[in-house]
Amino acid sequence: MLKKLVFLGTGTSSQIPLIPCLTQSPVSCAVCVSGRDPASKNRRRNTSLAVTIEDSTGTERTVLIDCGKSFYDGALAFFPVNGITSLDGLILTHGHADAILGLDDLRMWTNVADEGAVALDIFLDHPTFNVVSSTFPYLVNSHGFNGGGGVASLNFNVFHESLPEFEVAGLEFLPIQGSD
């Protein structure tokens, strides 16, 4: 049963407020001025969605869709107030900064140094995996890790773009190939 949808961000890759907009003299953009306030509806983080379901045992499961450069800020703002305490899967829709640059922030959810930590399943297509591999080699191959702060434990599930629907934490998803 679908429990909740939490939009961590609904903005573009550049986010709002735009810094150059705020450094003009005089500042003329009311949206960017309003967006300085972290609680403002004009604060636009990278597009990301947390989908929470309740399974047949009453356990809540949360799947994150995209984990961009503003993931930490969005999770800080919305996870506590929405009772999101764990992540059970992540779907990456593409390999741009607005979808993947928050991956390093997942270590607090999966740090293998913590007792009982569980690896997070990540679902992505092959082109996205190639970008993640080159951007975060230490997340894909732990031999690339050089110490200092722990590394997220991630299981990469690479699927072909023509894959029919697949399941993540009890939810079915259907990949739709878009244009880049």
Q: Give domain status of residue 64, yes or no.
A: yes
Count the domains in the chain: 1
- CATH number, position 36: 3.60.15.10
pLDDT of residue 48: 94
Q: Give domain status of residue 170, yes or no.
A: no
Q: Give domain status of residue 123, yes or no.
A: yes
Predicted confidence (pLDDT) per residue in 99-109, tens digit: 999 998 988 88
Q: Give domain status of residue 174, yes or no.
A: no
pLDDT of residue 166: 82
Q: Could you please report the per-residue DSSP string of 56-81?
A: TTS-EEEEEE---TTHHHHHHHHHHH
Q: Burial level of 134, CB count in 10 A (0-12/13-18/19+)?
A: exposed
**Which range has the worst mean pLDDT, 48-57, 71-80, 97-106, 109-118?**
109-118
Return d(Cα 137, Cα 147) in angstroms, integer.
13
> Residue 98's pLDDT band (boundaries 50, 70, 90)?
very high
pLDDT of residue 108: 80
User: What is the b/e burial string over 67-97, where b = at least 16 CB atoms within 10 angstroms of the residue's CB?
Assistant: bbbbbbbbbebbbeebebeebbbbbbbebbe
Q: Domain range holding 77?
A: 2-163
Give percent of the chain with pLDDT exceeding 90: 42
